[in-house]
A and B are shown apart, each in its own frame.
Chain A
Amino acid sequence: MQPLIDIIKLLGKETLVPKGSSRTTFLLAPVIGLASVILVSTLLWMNNIWTDKTFLGDLIVVLYLLTIPSICIIVGGFASRNPLASLGASREMKLILSYELPFVLAVLVPVIKSNFSLRLGEIVAVQAQNGVILGSLSGILAFIVLIMCMQAKLALVPFDIPEAETEIIGGPLIEYSGTGLAIYRLTKNMLLFVLPFFLMILLMGGLRFDGIHLLFGILKYVGVVALITVIRNTNPRVRIDQAMRFFWGPMTLLAAVAVVLALFGQ
């Protein structure tokens, strides 16, 4: 309950705008970030409730929308005109550049597996018939890559480099207070649901509402979140250059191998 209480409390606090900052951009950035996460959330729920009522290419839309919160953090950080925030924003930028390539490559695996379908609903439907993609070798590799990329997207240790509290005191969020900060917190907490949910849809058959499958769905989500938490608690924070090397090197390679394997039907 504490995150919820924090957000409610923050909503009632005064919003301070630093002198010399770009006021509109500074205040608008968190709102746009939250809006895009809400949109993603809606799309994902739609896909699970009415698998046939989705539109072609919604996977691409979701991929785009998922980068917007990170971009909003960058924009907000630069708009606040604080050296630490700019530093954090530039780190976030480097991080996006490093993890997006393996992320998209890994997302290609379920696309290939479901006969080149770009509809999330179809990916779920295919898995309901043929079993989950995670059961194949390429699925496992894609899962590893996606978990790592999610860790970076969520800005959790070892990839909490943009916010690194003990180094740059929260980075882009340093000047935010009151409602702005509450919205950022809310965005982050929603991402903690949306991203594992997205992963479930892509590789683990999504959430189904018939009988025992609902329980399985919840267990899948809890399992993914537990995995994220374990990674977070058993690693120190890496440096930004190490993170970039990690994503461009082993992770991209792993994702490429997964795509090739998927093409060969593994």
Chain B
Amino acid sequence: MARTIIPIGPYHPLQEEPSFFTLTVEGERVVAVDVELGYNHRGIEKLSERKTFDQSTFLVERICGICSTSHPFAYTRAVEDIISLEVPQRAKYIRTIIAEGERIHSHLLWLGLAGHFLGYNTVYMWAWKLREEVLDAMEVLSGNRNNYAMFKPGGVRRDIKASDIPGVIKKIDSIIPTLVMLKKAVMDDPVLGARTKGIGILTKEDAINYAALGPTSRASGVARDVRKDCPYGAYDRVNWEMIVTQNGDVFDKLVVRVLETFESVKIIKHCLLNLPNGEIDAKIKNIPPGEGIGHIEAPRGEAFHYVRSDGTNRPVRHKMRAPTFMNLPTYKATVIGQTISDATIIFAAIDPCYSCTERMTVRNTKGKKLYNGEDLIRLSQEKTAKIKSKLGVK
């Protein structure tokens, strides 16, 4: 059968961000998939080395517009790891509240988009309308609808006023009835079930082999969640459940996200009601030489930051890894063998975030990708050799 290449991207209604998928298809069936990144590389790791530890918090907040708390959270934990600092209790609770609020609005955003990709625009509108309520609550707590700027190494930047708490709880409570309705509409809809059940199955073995993270792995029966495995913030003081389902198809990923929203509501309410008194900032004076890692469970999976300090006020190396980087390769296991109609929703099912995943790609002027990591090392060695021979050193 003749093979055709179907391009999805670099600009496609499916994605808000530029990324390029080539699907090789036989008729409607996908036989090969390739992903190309590099359309939106911003060099944040390098930029971070030129900023102070405090400034970098704001920089990493802008890695992703949706998980704008995950990266500062992981980064501040990495910095605190260098000095083995214990953050004040109150700050831990506030961090947890902000992180969970972000999880709710991120999952709702995904749910809406998933509905949109399936042509189900009513789900799209309802989910986004509900998301607005969460954003309003976040505005009361942090002063911002997004990019909260709440984090700093050693604690949080802004306290939660006791007078704000009842209003926020009321707002969070008010989303529950709509959320329950949405859950019913999504989980019991036969047509939606027909489109998502048994589609794009990621088996447990594949999830482990590809090291999938977050909801993508939990839908495949891999109980992996940083909040449980390696508790941080206030997660070990709250009674909540990790949602794990077994099938690994698109429907299960959807179920995991919807049910996690309910858990997040639970966590936020508990933290707001049991907010301990005390300091919110450990007031770090200086950061000694050393290295630290910080990892947290972002809405899409584990966000990982590594920071090395040489004793100055700037990190000398800052490495970050967003969850989509690990989840993207699972396409090899899930998309191949499916039809094009299903491929799009499978792409969307891992809740991809490309701007966080961007890596540098080098092309020559003809637009052909020429260089991979080894090529670049070879080129750099060749250039060094050239300069050496020019200077006459050996």
A binds B: yes
- Interface pair A237/B13, CB less than 8 Å apart: no
Using A157-B119, A236-B115, A239-B339 as known contacts, say yes or no to A166 and B13 having CB atoms under 8 A apart. yes
Q: Which of B13, B119, B192 contacts A160 (CB 8 A)?
A: B119
Instruction: Answer whether residue B282 sits at the interface, using C-beta atoms and an 8 A cutoff.
Output: no
Chain B residues with CB below 8 A from A158, complex form: 119, 191
Count of inter-chain pairs, beta carbons less than 8 A: 69
Using A160-B119, A237-B120 as known contacts, say yes or no to A83 and B191 having CB atoms under 8 A apart. no
Instruction: Answer whether residue B340 sits at the interface, using C-beta atoms and an 8 A cutoff.
Output: yes
- Interface pair B120/A157, CB less than 8 Å apart: yes
Cα-based distance from A34 to B109 in the complex (angstroms):
40
Using A235-B191, A242-B194 as known contacts, say yes or no to A83 and B6 having CB atoms under 8 A apart. yes
Distance to closest chain A CB from B293 (angstroms): 38
Using A158-B191, A167-B341 as known contacts, say yes or no to A236 and B119 having CB atoms under 8 A apart. yes
Name the CB-closest residue of B to A156: B119
Distance to closest chain A CB from B18 (angstroms): 15
- Interface pair A235/B120, CB less than 8 Å apart: yes
Cα-based distance from A91 to B81 in the complex (angstroms):
56
Cα-based distance from A241 to B194 in the complex (angstroms):
11
Chain B residues with CB below 8 A from A259, complex form: none
Cα-based distance from A162 to B14 in the complex (angstroms):
16
Docked complex: B105-123 residues within 8 A CB-CB of A: 115-123
Instruction: Answer whether residue A169 sits at the interface, using C-beta atoms and an 8 A cutoff.
Output: yes
Cα-based distance from A234 to B13 in the complex (angstroms):
21
Question: How many positions in chain B have a CB within 8 Å of any CB in the partner chain?
Answer: 26
Docked complex: A68-92 residues within 8 A CB-CB of B: 83-84, 86-87
- Interface pair B4/A83, CB less than 8 Å apart: yes
Using A84-B6, A87-B28, A240-B28 as known contacts, say yes or no to A169 and B119 having CB atoms under 8 A apart. no
Q: Which of A87, A169, A237 contacts B12 (CB 8 A)?
A: A169
Instruction: Answer whether residue B342 sits at the interface, using C-beta atoms and an 8 A cutoff.
Output: yes
Q: Which of B13, B121, B189 contacts A233 (CB 8 A)?
A: B121
Name the CB-closest residue of B to A160: B119
Distance to closest chain B CB from A245 (angstroms): 10
Q: Which of B116, B123, B189, B194 contacts A166 (CB 8 A)?
A: B116
Q: Which of A83, A84, A169, A238 contacts B195 (CB 8 A)?
A: A238
Question: How many positions in chain A have a CB within 8 Å of any CB in the partner chain?
Answer: 24
Chain A residues with CB below 8 A from B122, complex form: 233-234
Chain B residues with CB below 8 A from A237, complex form: 118-120, 195, 341
Name the CB-closest residue of B to A167: B344
Chain A residues with CB below 8 A from B344, complex form: 166-167
Task: Give per-residue flags for A223-266: 1 if the beta carbon is below 8 A from chain B beta carbons, else 0.
Answer: 00000000001111111111000000000000000000000000
Instruction: Answer whether residue B5 sits at the interface, using C-beta atoms and an 8 A cutoff.
Output: yes
Chain A residues with CB below 8 A from B194, complex form: 238-239, 242
Q: Which of B6, B12, B13, B120 contacts A236 (CB 8 A)?
A: B120
- Interface pair A236/B195, CB less than 8 Å apart: yes
Name the CB-closest residue of B to A84: B6
Chain B residues with CB below 8 A from A236, complex form: 115, 118-120, 123, 189, 191-192, 195
Name the CB-closest residue of B to A230: B122
- Interface pair A164/B339, CB less than 8 Å apart: no
Cα-based distance from A83 to B2 in the complex (angstroms):
12
- Interface pair B341/A164, CB less than 8 Å apart: yes
Instruction: Answer whether residue A168 sits at the interface, using C-beta atoms and an 8 A cutoff.
Output: yes
Chain B residues with CB below 8 A from A233, complex form: 121-122
Q: Which of B14, B117, B195, B341 has the most C-beta atoms of chain A within 10 angstroms of its own C-beta? A: B341
Distance to closest chain B CB from A86 (angstroms): 8
Distance to closest chain A CB from B201 (angstroms): 16
Task: Give per-residue flags for B194-218: 1 if the beta carbon is below 8 A from chain A beta carbons, else 0.
Answer: 1100000000000000000000000
Chain A residues with CB below 8 A from B119, complex form: 157-158, 160, 164-166, 235-237
Instruction: Answer whether residue A161 sits at the interface, using C-beta atoms and an 8 A cutoff.
Output: yes
Docked complex: A132-184 residues within 8 A CB-CB of B: 157-158, 160-161, 164-169
Chain A residues with CB below 8 A from B123, complex form: 236
Cα-based distance from A166 to B103 in the complex (angstroms):
25
Distance to closest chain B CB from A163 (angstroms): 10
Distance to closest chain A CB from B183 (angstroms): 16
- Interface pair A83/B5, CB less than 8 Å apart: yes
Chain A residues with CB below 8 A from B191, complex form: 158, 235-236, 238
Can you give 23 A-B contacts (C-beta < 8 A)? A83-B6, A87-B6, A87-B340, A157-B121, A158-B119, A164-B119, A165-B119, A166-B14, A167-B14, A167-B340, A168-B6, A235-B120, A235-B191, A236-B118, A236-B119, A236-B192, A237-B118, A237-B119, A238-B191, A238-B194, A239-B341, A239-B342, A240-B28
Give me 5 other A-B pairs in contact (C-beta within 8 A), A166-B13, A167-B341, A241-B339 excluded.
Answer: A87-B6, A169-B13, A236-B119, A236-B195, A238-B191
Which A residues contact B (CB, under 8 angstroms)? 83-84, 86-87, 157-158, 160-161, 164-169, 233-242
